Amino acid sequence: MPAYTLKLRRYDPESGQSAYWQEFNVELAPERSVLDGILQARNDQDGSIGIRCSCQAAICGSCGVRINGKSRLACNTKIGEAAERAEKMGRDAIVVEPMGNMPVIKDLIVDMDAVHWKKVQRVVPWLLPEGDPPEREYIVPAESMIDITQSMACIHCGVCVSACLSMEVDPEFVGPAALAKAYRFVGDPRDAHEEERLRDLAEDEHGIYDCTHCFACVEVCPKDVAPMNQIMRLRRRATGDYGIKDDNNGYGHEKAFVDLIERYGTLHESQLLPRSYGQGSLVRSQLDPHSVKQLITAFPTVVNGLKSGKVAPKAALWHNKLPDQSQVRRIYNEVHSHGERIELNMYIVGESGGEEEGAMAEGSQEA
Amino acid sequence: MSIKVAYWPGCVSRGFTPELHGSMAAVAPKLDIELIQLDRANCCGAGVIAEHNQELVDSLNARTFALAQGVEGAVGMMNICSTCQGAQSECQERLDADTAYRQHINEHLEPEGLAYEKNSAWWNKNFLWLLVEDIGIDALRERVVRPLTGLRVAPFYGCYIVRPQSRLGYDERPERDLYLEQVIEAIGATPVDYAGKHKCCGFPLITMNRTTSLRQAGRHIADAIDADADCMVTPCPLCHLNLDLQQPDAAKYVERDLGLPVLHFPQLVGLALGIEPKELGMNKHVVKTGDVQRKIAELAAA
């Protein structure tokens, strides 16, 4: 039977001792899980190892940890593969730590109440329908639920919260799990408070516009919820469907970027910042006190850019259009004028499985 | 043997980081890469157009792919920006996944006679991937004329080139998130291990939450400094903007002195291939690269 070394991060607040590393040697087949390895160490060597687990089949979401630095379910990670990865990183042990962004209760157990559940509560995670309830259940057409099935797959394991790189520097960020949950209700046709929900999360300086678009949550989610994609769907609805002009420049940045590419084909960088601060408008960026204040904050950076010779004044002010810019404009016009939101939902189609015709039309057209 | 590629330099390498585009042009002939630049291609959308409208971003990138596929004799398409890589790979994944969707997107390209064709042999790769996979670490090692022995380099990948792995070809190439270290070793330098190498530079947040954005950048630079790095290297010009252009401001947000030179990936390779620092645009950084240049000169003299 192959042998593996697990290096566990231990911490017991009641002992008064600071956290420390401890190694355990275990023997099990490579296709068994890291959780199996931890449980073997606990059962045979040290009964005080703290780990939370239940189903051991990636259903309950209890055993989130970090393995070789990556947030994972321990039951869903093969020990042989974890050992190979550790070796490639130049380490002789599989490193297992508690999840990040949450306080540790003991060893590998973190306080989900203090962070994850609090943030989920923040987004009002229940249906808010309007009018009298129907006599029996609410009935909705199946196709209207397709868009939110992905966010419904969440098992609240907190692995995405652990991996979130925005939350790492801004603990107040509402975060991937809670925002994916928010989309589950924003996208639900039975909910009557879509606009209020969106406005609330767009105006919050730690809301949808505090996501740094790093794909960390997409990468680690054991259920393929792709929380960041749900955050982008929230943004799409906030700006595109409701035109919510938030104070975080979320609306302004999207409008500025999209408009500049329509005009020039490539990015006119020196206009991006002022336009973003001015809700997409250059004029507004110079008249609105809030925008001007932000421009002043960014001013030293501009000076540094000019001083270093990186940015030539002429290049900063003048930006050439693409030779075939009329093609880009025509594409913009075609897409914006047909009045439909056509999306390919990869969660439904799969990575390469949707080759039969019609998957797009059936699966993912949003009204 | 030379490699001919359809070359997409991106927007930022011709805007606020012109030294990146210039250094790639200087490095390519040394590695026998023939660059056929896609002058008519458009911005990849950088995740922002995807956030606005998926059909639009997929059409714009399908247009770029179609232009690249039309370059005769090119084995594939090459970019020099992690963000372009990620944004374009996302569109390619959707275009490849569904015939009806691809046909619909191609209708937007039809008036100019363009079409993106699904072809498992066709690829779009960042220069980092091309260098390791198609030129090879051994071939690179043979061409090094100025080994950077003793130079301690902190790798910084950029999110879009490391996540999500399933979309970015890691199933076939599981070591893509170790390539920077492999190249750093091959040119004689020492890779520095620190917490931030696969994390986010904060750039996408710079207009929306400056504090979070610059705390991210500042923290990674500080970690690299604490791990005794002489410089940092990145294959992403957007990361470079936050890590270099914004570094003086980032220092305020993490409340400590910084001052770590940040090189573009082709600049680092170019130094080892014997190209002069000035030709690589190393005088065009906000955090001065003088210490790195001095260290390399001392190494050469020793």
B174, pLDDT greater than 80: yes
What pLDDT, on a 0 to 100 scale, did the predictor assign at position B153? 98
Tell me the average pLDDT of chain B: 96
Confirm or reject contact between A97 and chain B (CB < 8 A).
Answer: no
Residues of A in contact with B56 (CB under 8 A): 258, 331-332, 335-336
A288, pLDDT greater than 90: no
Query: What one-character DSSP code corresponds to residue B220?
Result: H
Selecting from A216, A250, A323 the residue whose C-beta is nearest the C-beta of B163 gives A216
Residues of A in contact with B160 (CB under 8 A): 215
Confirm or reject contact between A47 and chain B (CB < 8 A).
Answer: no
pLDDT digits (tens, 9 = 90+) for B266-290: 999 999 999 999 999 999 999 999 9
Confirm or reject contact between A317 and chain B (CB < 8 A).
Answer: no
DSSP-assigned states of every residue in A120-158:
HHHT--S----SSPPSS-----GGGGHHHHHHHT-----
User: In terms of Cα–Cα distance, which of B204, B270, B259 is closest to B232?
Assistant: B259
What pLDDT, on a 0 to 100 scale, did the predictor assign at position A352? 53
**Separation of first and last alpha carbons in chain A:** 57
Output the CA angle B244-B193-A63, nearest 5 degrees.
110
Cross-chain residue pair B200–A248, CB shorter than 8 Å: no
Cross-chain residue pair A267–B43, CB shorter than 8 Å: yes
Could you tell me the pTM of the whole model?
0.94
Residues of B in contact with A223 (CB under 8 A): none
Confirm or reject contact between B113 and chain A (CB < 8 A).
Answer: no
* Nearest residue of chain A to residue B109 (CA atoms): A331
pLDDT digits (tens, 9 = 90+) for A146-188: 889 999 999 999 999 999 999 999 999 999 999 999 999 999 9
**Residue from A335, A340, A357 whose CB has the most chain B CBs within 10 Å, to mutate:** A335
**Separation of first and last alpha carbons in chain B:** 34
pLDDT digits (tens, 9 = 90+) for A69-103: 999 999 999 999 999 999 988 899 999 999 999 99
For residues B47 and B103, is the Cβ–Cβ distance under 8 A?
no
Tokens read off for A310:
């990186």
Tokens read off for A155:
């098992």
pLDDT digits (tens, 9 = 90+) for A222-240: 999 999 999 999 999 999 9
**Band of pLDDT at residue B7, cut at 50, 70 and 90:** very high
Q: How far is A314 from chain B (nearest CA, A)?
A: 11
pLDDT digits (tens, 9 = 90+) for A25-36: 999 999 999 999
DSSP-assigned states of every residue in A199-236:
HHHHHSTTSGGG-----HHHHH-TT---HHHHHHHHHH
Q: Phi, psi at residue B170, to the nearest 5°?
A: -70, -20
What pLDDT, on a 0 to 100 scale, did the predictor assign at position B185? 98
Q: Which residue has the higher pLDDT, A366 or A40?
A: A40
pLDDT digits (tens, 9 = 90+) for B175-219: 999 999 999 999 999 999 999 999 999 999 999 999 999 999 999
Pairing type for strands A20-27 and A70-73 reads unpaired
**What number is the ipTM of this complex?**
0.95
A130, pLDDT greater than 60: yes
Cross-chain residue pair A344–B159, CB shorter than 8 Å: no
Q: How many CB pairs under 8 A join A and B?
A: 217
What pLDDT, on a 0 to 100 scale, did the predictor assign at position A356? 46
Q: What is the mean pLDDT of residues B30-48?
A: 97
Residue burial A251-273, b: 16+ Cβ < 10 Å; e: rest: bbbbbbbbbbbbebbbbbbbbbb
Is B91 strand, coil or helix?
helix
**Band of pLDDT at residue A366, cut at 50, 70 and 90:** very low
**Band of pLDDT at residue A350, cut at 50, 70 and 90:** low
Cross-chain residue pair A323–B96, CB shorter than 8 Å: no
A62's CB contacts (< 8 A; 6+ apart) are A52, A53, A54, A55, A157
Cross-chain residue pair A236–B45, CB shorter than 8 Å: no
* Angle between helical axes of B54-69 and A325-337 (0-180°, round to 10): 150
What pLDDT, on a 0 to 100 scale, did the predictor assign at position A358? 42
What pLDDT, on a 0 to 100 scale, did the predictor assign at position A89? 85
Selecting from B208, B209, B286 the residue whose C-beta is nearest the C-beta of A310 gives B286
Q: What is the mean pLDDT of residues B107-122?
A: 96
Cross-chain residue pair A315–B15, CB shorter than 8 Å: yes
Distance in angstroms (rounded) separating the CA atoms of residues B68 and A67: 40
A360, pLDDT greater than 70: no
Q: What is the mean pLDDT of residues A119-147?
A: 91
Q: How many CA atoms lie within 13 A of B69 on its CB side?
A: 17
Residues of A in contact with B55 (CB under 8 A): 335, 341-343
Binding-face residues of B in 24-43 toward A, CB within 8 A: 39-40, 42-43
Binding-face residues of A in 235-294 toward B, CB within 8 A: 235-236, 239-240, 248-250, 252-254, 257-258, 261, 265-269, 272-273, 276-277
A362, pLDDT greater than 50: no
